[in-house]
Structures are given as structure tokens and as C-alpha cells.
Structure 1
Amino acid sequence: MTEWTDPDTFAQALEQVETKEKGNCFEDFEDGDVIEHDPGLTLTQFGNESWMSQTLNHDPAYWRHDAAAERGFDEPPVHPDYLTAATLGITVEDLSEKGGYFLGRTDVRFPTAPVYTGTELHVESEVVNCATSSSRPEYGIVSWRTRGKDAETGDVLCSYERTNMIPRREPVATDGSGAAAAEGDGDDGPELPDEFIAPEGGYYEDFVDALEEAEDENAAVAYRHERGRTQDDVTVASLPLSTLNTAKQHHNVDVMADSPSGSIVTYGDVTRSTALGHARSDEETWREVGFDDESFHTFVAVGDTVYAFTRVLEAKADASSEEAGTVTFEHIAFNQDDEPVYSGTRTAEIRKRSN
């Protein structure tokens, strides 16, 4: 009788049996394909509060009924960062579980109406582009347009376009034109402003005043945030798994031992949300409008600390709102070695001072 648990016997069996693979390779995607992602996810108060607390997003309107009512909400709503992470997490099994670099995301948008816990989230993605990687023949590049919808009403709750490198089953020949970094033009480095200006407070008027001051100088409105968040088992493994993000990069130490990071790494949306939480703690956020040009520059692992830097790009008054004005930011997350790990532009409505 075969003793299947004998170590030598079992090792031989593992070498001979077929592995039931998860995820899709580059060749499985074609432009125009529409993928319905199962299972969906019910947005829960526990999931929402766990995400917010672990990424230091402490806006009281998302925690307390009195603060929510002041903002015009029926109850504390789902935070946009949790909604974004859940929308992407559901797609991972079908789109990016095979691995590959998360190259970026743009056109992240939300409805003007709040989303409440108990909403059943259904997600679909459309393949909008498939391209060969000129520098990495073992990968292709795929872009998807993803929509998270209310399963009951069909209303779009979150949408974005993201781009990933996806492993090929078989490498292809390329011309290598993208392999080499562009050479410098011989200058002495970047030209920074003569002065950096920080707003005096976090209200809309403070950002307007700082931008007006910067116009009179060779200056930029830019500052760093004091808080940092060191990545631990909860942020690296628990949070992505709670959004159904099955990418092995976040929970399989065995597989990741031979990767460049040497271990599991933080879900990009955890890194992003943590940096945004730091930034929001220094402003009076009223409502998130959208995000663009998001990029992830290097991996973040257990023990790394995520900090944040903000540059204020523009402020516009909204004639339809007495409570808030619109501000556009560039946010950069960086680690304990001052290396950028995430960047993106964000547009938000910022509360005005009460007259």
C-alpha cells in the first residue's frame, strides 16, 4: 500500500501531478472582452471601519452619526478608499493574480451620492488595451476599465482604468527599445522652487491664500505630513484578503521568498490610503471627487513605514456650494529611506470656514 504521507513518496507525487492554476495570463485577454467578477462583496461596517482605522483615515463623518448628519448623510457612509480597494480586490482573481507590476491607475471616480454599508457590490471589467512589453518579453501590458456597481440598482459606485504587466505563457521576441533608461541631457539636476509654502490651516481658504502667495514668488505650495504608519501583518495580509484580493504577493511568503522583495508586500491601495489618511489629517475634507495618474514606484513590505508629501496644484470656488471649494493635490507616499512608493493627483472638495 502506498504511504502517501511518506516525505519521499509525497515529494515524488507533487512533481508528477498537474497544478490547477489560478488567474489568467496575457494571452487570455483580448481588447473588448467584458469580465463579470464573482463573487461580489457586501460593503460592511466592520470592513469599512477596519480599513479606515488601519490606514489612519479618521474623518468623523465616516465614524459618527452626528458628524455624518452635519455633512448631509443619513448615516456614516462607506469611505471612498475602502470602496476603491474593494472594487479592485474583487477583480484580482480574474485579472492580475498571476502577478506582474501594477503600473498605474487613472480616472478614479465616484458618484455624488453617498454609498452606505449593506450595499452589495458587483464588479465588471472591460479590456481596453493589450500591448507587448518592449523591455520584458516574459510580460505583456493590459489595461482594464473597471466599474463597481450597486447590485440592486445597477448604479456605478466606483470606476477607474488600471494597467498591469501580466505574465505570458511564452516569452516573445522584442526589440528591447524600452529596456534602457533615457540618458540625461547634461544638466545639473532638477530646478526646485526657491521657497516652499505650507498653508496655515486645512480649510479651503488656507489653500487659496497659500497659492496666491506662491504666485508672487518662485515658490510651490508643498509640505510633508508628520505621521507615519509602519506596515504589519494586518496591513500587508489581512486588509487585502478582506477585500477578496487573492494576489499571492500579499499573503504567500513561500512563493514570495524568491521575489525581489524577499517576502510579501503591501497591497497598493493600502499604501495609497495610508498616505491619503496622513494628508487628510491636515485638511478639512468635505468630499472626494476623483483621482488621476496614480503610479506605484516600488514595493512596500512588512516593517516599512509609509509617510506622505503633498503639493497643492489648484483651488477653485464652486458656485453651487457654500460649504466647500475644490482643491487639486499631488500626493506622494514615501518610505523610511525617503524613496517614493506611490504618487497620484487627487481632487477633493475642502470645507470652507464658517462665516
Structure 2
Amino acid sequence: MRGLWFEEFEVGAHYKHSMTRTITEMDNVMFTSLTMNIAPIHLDAEYCKGTVHGQRVLNSLFTVALIGAFHVPELTMGTTLGNLGYDSVKFPNPVFHGDTLRAETTIVDKRESKTRDDSGIVWFEHIGLNQRDEVVVKMTRVGLMMRRPADSEGAA
């Protein structure tokens, strides 16, 4: 399985990724602990009873990492040279333990690299949704994608 070469990306193409993932308490505690984010909104159930959400909220960077990975098998496996940045990241709704997330990706733009002849730049819009179809993250990511190697012409 491989991702798409730069030439294969089409602006406006939309992908509904088949992968889904139910968020567990362990996901939140481990990620939050590994990244040393000790905010009680992620870890302290008693504290959170007094917040607007009434319960612990998933660490938002875990949401970015998870939703940002769902596209890999279809779009970038073995064909990416890395992220160049995120133009925007928004969290319209919180994620809680027990939510099941899925993702969709739209190709927003692309252009040839001005400094490299082996790659091009692609703008991806990744949207993460929960089991109620509420958007939990919307982000625009910029990736450096490999051009099709000359020896792979015509190969799928």
C-alpha cells in the first residue's frame, strides 16, 4: 500500500476515511502524561464536575494527532517527505472518553516546489467528527509530497 504521488493529488478531491477509533480514558491519561500537560481539565474528574463540560476533556493535541493520521494509508504512506506546517487548527466541539472519531480529508490546493524538483506542496483540510457527526477538529495542514519517480511511470 502506498500513498499518492504529488501528481496524483487533485484539488477538490474529498476522502472519507474508513478508519475509526473510540477514545479511552487510557488514551487521554497516557498522552497527557507523556506530554507533561498536567491541566486538571484532562486528568481530574472531581475538578471537571465543576467545569462547563462536567467531565474530563480529551487533550486536544491527541485529537490533532489522531485525526491527522487517519489519512495516512490512503494518501501519504511512503510518499510524504513531512509536514511543513498547519495553517489553522480549530476545535468546535470537545472530545470525551468514549467518543468514536472518524476523519475526512479534502485536497485544498497544491503547487510544485520552488526549491526541490523531487516534490511538491499539498494543502490538506482534515476534519474530525464524532459519533454524532459533530466536528471536533478542523485543520489545514501543509505537506511536502514526493513526485512520482521516473522509474515508476505507469505503475499503480
Q: Please give the TM-score of this superposition, normalised by the length of structure 1.
A: 0.40
Q: Which amino acid aligns with 2:89?
A: V
Query: Is the Cα–Cα contact under 8 Å of residues 113 and 120 in structure 2 kept in the other structure?
Result: yes
Q: Partners in 2 of 1:68 and 1:95 — Cα distance?
A: 38
The 5 A counterparts of 1:226-237 are none
Which of these residues, 4, 21, 24, is aligned with residue 44 of structure 1? 24
List runs of 5+ in structure 1 lacking aligned partners: 1-20, 172-355
Q: Which amino acid aligns with 1:170?
A: P
Which of these residues, 52, 57, 70, is aligned with residue 37 of structure 2? 57
1:137 aligns with 2:114: no
Report which structure shows greater RCO (CA 8 Å, sep ≥6): 2
Partner SS state of residue 74, structure 1: coil
Partner SS state of residue 49, structure 1: helix
1:166 aligns with 2:123: no
Q: Partners in 2 of 1:72 and 1:134 — Cα distance?
A: 48
1:100 aligns with 2:85: no
Q: Partners in 1 of 2:6 and 2:94 — Cα distance?
A: 36
Which of these residues, 100, 105, 108, is aligned with residue 128 of structure 1? 108
Q: Partners in 2 of 1:37 and 1:145 — Cα distance?
A: 13
Q: Partners in 2 of 1:23 and 1:107 — Cα distance?
A: 23
CA shift for structure 1 position 49:
1.1
Partner of 2:90: 109
Query: Is the Cα–Cα contact under 8 Å of residues 96 and 164 in structure 1 kept in the other structure?
Result: no
Which of these residues, 155, 158, 179, is aligned with residue 134 of structure 2? 155
Q: Which amino acid aligns with 2:91?
A: F
Per-residue CA distance 1:3-58 (angstroms, 9 max, x = gap): xxxxxxxxxxxxxxxxxx42221122100000111211111111111111101011
CA shift for structure 1 position 94:
2.5
Per-residue CA distance 1:47-75 (angstroms, 9 max, x = gap): 11111110101111211111111222222
List runs of 5+ in structure 2 lacking aligned partners: 151-156
Q: Partners in 1 of 2:36 and 2:96 — Cα distance?
A: 20
1:28 aligns with 2:18: no
The 5 A counterparts of 1:334-349 are none
Instruction: Kindly report the root-mean-square deviation, in angstroms, between the aligned alpha carbons of the 2 structures.
Output: 1.5
Per-residue CA distance 1:125-175 (angstroms, 9 max, x = gap): 10011111121111011101110011x32110001100111011136xxxx
Q: Which amino acid aligns with 1:130?
A: K
Q: Partners in 1 of 2:4 and 2:32 — Cα distance?
A: 31
**Structure of higher CA gyration radius:** 1
CA shift for structure 1 position 92:
2.1
Partner SS state of residue 127, structure 2: strand
The 5 A counterparts of 1:1-355 are 21-97=1-77, 98-111=79-92, 113-150=93-130, 152-170=131-149
Q: Partners in 1 of 2:81 and 2:56 — Cα distance?
A: 36
Q: Partners in 1 of 2:46 and 2:107 — Cα distance?
A: 43
Partner SS state of residue 17, structure 2: strand
Say how many residue pairs are matched. Answer: 149
Q: Which amino acid aligns with 1:129?
A: D
Q: Partners in 1 of 2:110 and 2:41 — Cα distance?
A: 41
Q: Which amino acid aligns with 2:69?
A: G
CA shift for structure 1 position 93:
2.1
Partner of 2:153: none
Partner of 1:351: none
Q: Partners in 1 of 2:119 and 2:127 — Cα distance?
A: 25
